[in-house]
Amino acid sequence: MNENTKTIAFWGAALVMMAIGAFVAWPTAAKNELGQVAGQPLFNEFKDPLSAANMKIVTYDADQAKLSPFEVRKDSESGVWTIPSRSGYPADAVEQMKDAANAFVGLKILDIQTENAEDHDDLGVLEPKLEDLQGGEEGVGRLVTFKDDGQKTLASLIIGNPVKDEEGKIYVRKPGEDPVYVVKMDDSTLTTKFQDWIEEDLLQLSSIEVQQVQIKDYSASLAGMGNQISWERNYEATVSTQGTDWTVDEFLVYDNPDPMAEPKPGAIPDGKVANKEKLDEMKDALDDLKIVDVVRKPEGMSASLKADDKLVSDEEAYRSLLVRGFFPLDEEMISANGELMVALTDGVQYVLRFGNVKGVSEAEETDESDVEDAEGVAVGVNRYMLLTTKVDESQFPAPALEEVPKNLDDLEKLMTPPEEPADEAPAADEPADDPPADGEPADGEPADGEPGDGEPGDGEPVADESAEMKPADEAEVATETESEDNPEDAPEEVVSEVEPAQPDASGEGEAVVEGEGESAGSGGGFQQDGDEAAETVDEQTPADSDDADAEPQPAESVDDKDDAADTNTEVAEEEEDVVTYAEMTEEEKLELLEAEQEKITKANQRLLDARKEKMEDARRRVRELNERFADWYYVIPEATYRKLRIDRDELFVSVDADDESGSLPPMPSGPSFGMPGLPPGN
């Protein structure tokens, strides 16, 4: 083999070895690269979700070849969250932003799908940049960017298509880089739906707070080439609710085609009542009122929307109102589709004015704009609404104040109770009563032989005349003592059954009384022990008691009666010491006048202060609400508007309708159920 052959063979072997080495080394390098990134976080420095002060999501509309940005931002000074993409509308974004940022914090790479830029459209990770797109492209992803309060980028990612047959896995790519990663993440929190980022409860009221609603049913529109307003008024009604019931307080109708003509009182149709079902639906819709969009009003438009010269002369503000269905008219603001005035129990009154249809919202877009639901309402159609509040002064009437006496004459009227009318005495020429018939006793006189005529009746004890001569207290004590001596004279409820007295050797009787105690004596209730009388421990049981073991009640002793008599005497003496107004000196009357003036003045002031405090609370609440509502046209779903709008023929319903419209519930069938103690059926 010559030298040339050896050289060629050497180089050939070298090339083969290089090819083999390259072949063996290539997959190993790729494997090593994947091993270095798998399990690593995409954003090492983004660890605290609360550090995110700005989120921007950019999506691409292929049909219109335009970008749709959605942004939520926190003001660095006030800390208030707003939505710049909705003209700075306030956002309820503290928790939402935290949840959205958490989708990026700790996000780890599971795999590298490709490093080839030509695969980006197939995986849905093309960057939404108009300068790089020709229009109508498919495969454009969502660009999500988080920044801190200093506008430093914390994380930015293009979110593409989900991985087929692998739930929760998504293709993602960093802007400006070619590698496409596979990650597992929940991107549902990265929403651009307006309703997800705002306070859902627009009115911030509860249905139980609704006290009264005034319905103004009319329609208005622009007529002709100019700014002439065509106004057709239908009816007005004021309805009140207490608990679950509704009442119609006022019902006015406009039968005159002239909208400026005075309305006439309308008659409630016979056999009909307020439509409880429809009114309840309206009240619930107020409680759950949600918006789908907002539009900022022109600068300088009054929060009260009063149609003054300043508003009418502002061309931008004036046109802004007209195109949305709100018309300034004679210092009054009317709307295209009527209004509601809702009074709450705290004195706050909402005024809702309904304007023109806005169109289909982002969240409810359909392929066919004329699609209707089961009730014939266009799906996705929305309506403009203006919202203001004011204080309902009628809920704060002036309290009834007590008149303060100014002088002694006023004090005398105050301190002197009104005289009660005396009973009319019979005329002198008329007998008081008809004379009694022969043999009959006169009214109030007992018949012969009856108790009370001074002679004993059959089986009746003789009345003690000496009791009439004693003072009231002594007579009462004597009567009670005699009742003890004569058990049959005592009231039945306090006398126990007494066995007949049995004579003993001395001839004295012994009374045996049911109970634990017993007494012996001559019948006076005491037994003599030398010169000292021992108090009886006799205990008596009510005669109508069937329980022999019932606990006996001690009889009242004479000492207790004496104490009661002394107490009554003391009370009587104290009453005699009370000085009446007529007996007061002039100096005492003046002192009393001053005291009464101070007492009544303080009581009146408390009533006035309570009213003032309630009014101030209502005014403060109205200011807070109007600050929220002042800058915005609200957009509500058409379905919600239909619940708030009640036509004239829907206001009343038949009493006997098969619903809960005010009819009485049917009586239960089958077995009768009565009140306790009464037979069935009663």
Tens-place pLDDT, residues 486-527:
444 444 444 334 444 444 444 444 444 344 443 333 344 434
Strand partners, 264: 253
The reported pLDDT for the residue numbered 576 is 57
Q: Give helix then strand counts, H and E, for the chain.
A: 11, 28
Convert the pLDDT of each residue in 13-34 to its tens digit.
666 666 666 554 444 334 445 5
Burial 553-564 (b: 16+ CB within 10 A, else e): eebeebeebeee
Angle formed by the axes of helices 408-415 and 586-629, nearest 10°: 90
Strand partners, 341: 214, 351
Q: Residue 533: is its pLDDT beyond 50?
A: no
Which two three-digit tokens encode residue 284?
């619930």
The reported pLDDT for the residue numbered 184 is 95
Number of residues that make up the chain: 682
The reported pLDDT for the residue numbered 611 is 94
91 close to 72: Cβ distance less than 8 angstroms: yes
Among 311, 42, 384, 321, residue whose Cα is nearest residue 182? 42
Measured CA angle at 587 (ends 583, 590), to 5 deg: 100
Residue entry with tokens 């007492």: 599
Residues with Cβ within 8 Å of residue 295, at least 6 apart in sequence: 87, 324, 384, 632, 633, 635
Q: Which residue has the higher pLDDT, 20 or 317?
A: 317
The reported pLDDT for the residue numbered 33 is 52
Side by side, the strands of the sheet bearing 228-242 are 264-265, 245-253, 228-242, 210-223, 339-344, 348-360, 381-391, 632-637, 293-296
269 close to 309: Cβ distance less than 8 angstroms: no
Q: Residue 189: is its pLDDT beyond 70?
A: yes
599 close to 381: Cβ distance less than 8 angstroms: no
Convert the pLDDT of each residue in 99-126 to its tens digit.
999 999 999 999 999 999 999 999 999 9
Q: Which of 64-78, 165-179, 209-223, 441-455 comes out lowest in average pLDDT?
A: 441-455
Strand partners, 173: 158
Q: For residue 111, report the phi and psi dihedrals to the nearest 5 degrees.
A: -165, 160
Mean pLDDT in residue range 143-169? 94
- Three-state SS string over 297-326 comes to CCCCCCCCCCCCHHHHHCHHHHHHHHHCCE
347 close to 220: Cβ distance less than 8 angstroms: no
Q: Residue 447: is its pLDDT beyond 90?
A: no
Q: Which residue has the higher pLDDT, 78 or 21?
A: 78
Strand partners, 654: 272
Dist CA 115 CA 173 (whole Å): 10
Dist CA 381 CA 365 (whole Å): 9
Q: Residue 205, Cα to own-chain centre: how many angstroms?
A: 7
Dist CA 60 CA 141 (whole Å): 8
Confidence of residue 420 (pLDDT cuts 50, 70, 90): low
Dist CA 638 CA 642 (whole Å): 6
Residue entry with tokens 């502002």: 314
Q: Residue 3: is its pLDDT beyond 80?
A: no
> Residue 52, exposed/middle/buried by CB under 10 A (0-12, 13-18, 19+)?
buried
Dist CA 441 CA 183 (whole Å): 115
Q: Where are the beta strands (DSSP E) in 121-244?
A: 142-147, 153-162, 169-173, 180-184, 210-223, 228-242
Q: Residue 440, Cα to own-chain centre: how many angstroms?
A: 72
Phi-psi region of 39 (alpha: psi -120 to 50; beta: other; left: phi over 0): left
The reported pLDDT for the residue numbered 258 is 85
Neighbours of 169 (CB within 10 A): 16
Dist CA 615 CA 398 (whole Å): 11
Q: Which residue has the higher pLDDT, 372 or 95?
A: 95
- Three-state SS string over 621-672 comes to HHHHHHHHHCCEEEEEEHHHHHHHCCCHHHCEEECCCCCCCCCCCCCCCCCC
The reported pLDDT for the residue numbered 421 is 64
Q: Which of 4-8, 564-568, 580-584 comes out lowest in average pLDDT?
A: 564-568
Dist CA 368 CA 554 (whole Å): 95
Dist CA 58 CA 140 (whole Å): 10
202 close to 291: Cβ distance less than 8 angstroms: yes
Tally the C-alpha atoms within 13 A of residue 668's C-alpha that lie toward its C-beta.
7
Mean pLDDT in residue range 348-373? 65
Mean pLDDT in residue range 662-669? 38
Identity of residue 385: M
* Parallel/antiparallel/unpaired status of strands 210-223 and 142-147: unpaired
38 close to 110: Cβ distance less than 8 angstroms: yes
Dist CA 600 CA 594 (whole Å): 10
Strand partners, 387: 352
3-class secondary structure, 132: helix
Q: Residue 633: is its pLDDT beyond 70?
A: yes
Confidence of residue 377 (pLDDT cuts 50, 70, 90): very low
Q: What is the dihedral of CA 583, 588, 594, 595, to 10 degrees?
A: -80
